[in-house]
């Protein structure tokens, strides 16, 4: 089973397409931790997991720091990020230009 299907299973993650960060606070259902696999698990897990986390921390630190750039979504709607096809991994519509952000 792919990570996309595991992360969008309503039996494990209530309202999987809603932004609810509070679901990870307090008493956590053990099924949620077992089924949250952004880098897969076991012998086939991502070799670059530590590098990926380091890059995410640096990028978020630069973008969200006090006095950092202001950002606004530019010519992007939900169809540009929603899964439309599956080529062994979820892909948005084929003519999508991706998520575009304008730095102000």
Q: Which residues are annotated as a binding site for heme?
A: 46
Q: Which of 30, 29, 52 is nearest to 39 (CA)?
A: 52
Annotated binding site: 46
Sign of CA dihedral 77, 56, 14, 11: positive
The CB density around residue 13, as the number of other CB atoms within 10 Å, is: 19
């Amino acid at each position: 089973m792919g990570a996309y299907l595991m992360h969008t299973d309503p039996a494990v993650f209530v309202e999987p397409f809603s932004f609810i960060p509070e679901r990870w606070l307090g008493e956590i259902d053990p099924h949620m931790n077992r089924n949250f696999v952004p880098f897969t698990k076991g012998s086939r897990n991502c070799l670059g997991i530590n590098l990926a986390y380091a890059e995410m921390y640096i990028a978020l630190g630069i973008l969200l720091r006090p006095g950092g750039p202001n950002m606004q979504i530019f010519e992007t709607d939900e169809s540009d990020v929603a899964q439309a096809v599956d080529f062994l991994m979820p892909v948005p519509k084929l003519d999508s230009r991706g998520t575009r952000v304008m730095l102000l």
